[in-house]
Structure 1
Amino acid sequence: MESITVSTVSLRLRQYWVLTKPRVSQLAVFCAVIGMFLATPAVPPWQTVIAATIGIWLLAAAAFAINCLIEEQVDARMARTAHRPTARGDIGALQIIAMSGVVGGLGMTVLYTLVNPLTMWLTFATFVGYAIIYTVILKPRTPQNIVIGGLSGAMPPALGWAAVADSVPAEAWLLVLIIFIWTPPHFWALALYRTKDYENAGLPMLPVTHGQKLTRLHILLYSVALFATTLLPYVIRMSGLVYLASAVALGLVFVGYAWKLYRSYSDELARRLFRYSILYLSLLFAALLVDHWL
């Protein structure tokens, strides 16, 4: 009986963990931490870094859980998301709302008391932007959902910067802009090789509403815009040659993938671009940090 109880509790905890979309939240928190270190020429206080990281992650986890709840029927019709506990009906709505309320409330408390009110309110606004504005209003209504709603997903560097500096200067918003422009080609690459999934779910993603060819063109144009945008930290002297060399090298590979995808489509190439886009953003922000200390 005891082993069954332990096993049941362990399974339930894993199900709740899946609702927080851990891989997505890890990348968001990583970008927030980079923002913290870029906000000051010195090493930021470790207490602030730890508290802000925990608080931002908790609110992100709460937002992702609400997203899973709202999209439970959509997720059930998509092969990529059908395994989620909400899609399978393993966890009820009240449980998710309670979990999100507790986790999100704890995150807000941590940010308000141990970091600063600005970071709490910005993170809460990001929560509302993702869980409500993007998920409820934009995603089911417009093929530009990921473009407009991408602002909430682009906010982590500004949240991290606010945590340390208690302000959000132009440099922080430039980091937000980079992620904002990165988001469409990242998600549209996924949508290309998952088009059937989105058709089954009834979501108006760009490949569904406007076709594969136009989506590939949009990916290429956004990739070129992303390349140009990533040069701006060097242009405004926010970073130096180490970052510039990294941004150029990483960006050329990104544009190269987008160009190949535009010229000759295959699902495998779309998958490679999607996977590379995640690595790209991680390495780009890591280069910002390395350059900052050098």
Structure 2
Amino acid sequence: MKHTLSLTSDTSWRDYYELCKPRVVALMILTSVVGMLLAQESGIPWHALLWGNLGIALMASSAAAINHIVDQKIDAVMARTRKRPIVQGRVDNFHALFFAFALAIIGMIILVMWVNPLTAWLTLASLIGYAVIYTLFLKRATPQNIVLGGLAGAAPPLLGWTAVTNSVDGHALLLVLIIFAWTPPHFWALAVHRKAEYASAEIPMLPVTHGERYTKLHILLYTMILFAVTLLPFITGMCDWIYFVSAVVLGLRFLDWAVAMWRNSRPHAAINTFKYSITYLMLLFVALLVDHYVPVTF
């Protein structure tokens, strides 16, 4: 059958837009922008802000599209994903793969030509880590898939930092560590809520292989680790009091939800913990930014 790149009557640009997982990419770009702005005391070059984030967004969207292709059988049995474009047949595998490769190539060209090769190669490594190592192998191989594969999703603030400085800095790695520690309690809360669906899809998520009680304990433990990790930017002198107070308040609320999950003390605690974790990360990185530009000392 001959393939063409024209849209059919059942396909719209919104289907390709959905392949990019725009909400996830938007959160990634927020952390990338924060990494850029924290990398320098003064303003950052406009070309790094524009081309850097565009290239990173395109390659992150490519990884998301590949995830749609690889996970289509899983998506078909899960309520939150069964209406995705590939599952519904609105976009076929050929067009989705072509779209993914086009995004990756354009993103790579932008980063190499108008940002720097270091950022380009690190972004490509992140794409491979998520789309290939995590999605193809780790997700189906071990209940620690989220922990082992979390590094790829934690890279954007480092990518933003290198886009501006063309170097890897310890403070940038601290931002990566925050997202790396945030990822397990974030995804495991969703996995508890969707346990039956992951079991039907035969994905060895932690609540499927080890039970909900075990998973909730680890959500609580990782949230404690996350709380400690988020204090490191203040301890190392990277940030000041606005960030410190924000990290403590936001972290205590996250711990409150984790304890509620552990104790089964609130209805729908798992999905509410998952939703709060997204708000938490957004506000934490906004606090990093505000602290950087509005220094407050006592």
TM-score (norm 2): 0.94
> 1:249/1:266 Cα in 2 relative to 1: closer, same or farther (>3 Å)?
closer
Q: Choose between structure 1 and 2: higher helix proportion.
A: 1
Rounded to whole Å, the distance in 1 between the matches of 2:7 and 2:208 is 42
Q: Does 1:243 align with 2:248?
A: no
Alignment match, 1:271:
271
Give a deviation string over 1:239-292, Cα, whole Å, max 9, x none: 001100000000000001101110116661111111110000000011101111
Give a deviation string over 1:7-26, Cα, whole Å, max 9, x none: 96794211111111111111
Rounded to whole Å, the distance in 2 between the matches of 1:137 and 1:69 is 14
> 1:40/1:287 Cα in 2 relative to 1: closer, same or farther (>3 Å)?
same
Rounded to whole Å, the distance in 2 between the matches of 1:73 and 1:265 is 35
Unaligned 5+ runs, structure 2: 1-5
Alignment match, 1:29:
29
Q: Does 1:281 align with 2:281?
A: yes
Alignment match, 1:3:
none
Alignment match, 1:167:
167
User: 1:203-218 to 2 correspondence within 5 Å?
Assistant: 203-218=203-218
**Aligned residue type for 1:127:** L
Rounded to whole Å, the distance in 1 between the matches of 2:147 and 2:267 is 22
Q: Which runs of 4+ in 1 moved over 3 A?
A: 6-11
- C-alpha displacement at 1:144, in angstroms? 0.3
**Is the Cα contact below 8 Å between 2:59 and 2:108 reproduced in 1?**
yes
Give a deviation string over 1:195-251, Cα, whole Å, max 9, x none: 111011110000000000000000000001000000000000000011000000000
> 1:96/1:36 Cα in 2 relative to 1: closer, same or farther (>3 Å)?
same
Number of equivalences: 289
**Aligned residue type for 1:42:** S
**Is the Cα contact below 8 Å between 1:192 and 1:267 reproduced in 2?**
no
Root mean square deviation of aligned Cα = 1.5
Alignment match, 1:194:
194
Give a deviation string over 1:175-206, Cα, whole Å, max 9, x none: 00000000000001101111111011110000
Alignment match, 2:85:
85
- C-alpha displacement at 1:90, in angstroms? 2.2
User: 1:66-85 to 2 correspondence within 5 Å?
Assistant: 66-85=66-85
> 1:93/1:165 Cα in 2 relative to 1: closer, same or farther (>3 Å)?
same
User: More displaced, 215-224 or 43-52?
Assistant: 43-52
- C-alpha displacement at 1:47, in angstroms? 1.9
User: 1:32-181 to 2 correspondence within 5 Å?
Assistant: 32-181=32-181
Alignment match, 2:3:
none
> 1:93/1:265 Cα in 2 relative to 1: closer, same or farther (>3 Å)?
farther
TM-score (norm 1): 0.96
Rounded to whole Å, the distance in 1 between the matches of 2:234 and 2:157 is 17
User: More displaced, 192-201 or 10-19?
Assistant: 10-19
- C-alpha displacement at 1:85, in angstroms? 1.1
Query: Percent identity between the aligned chains?
Result: 49
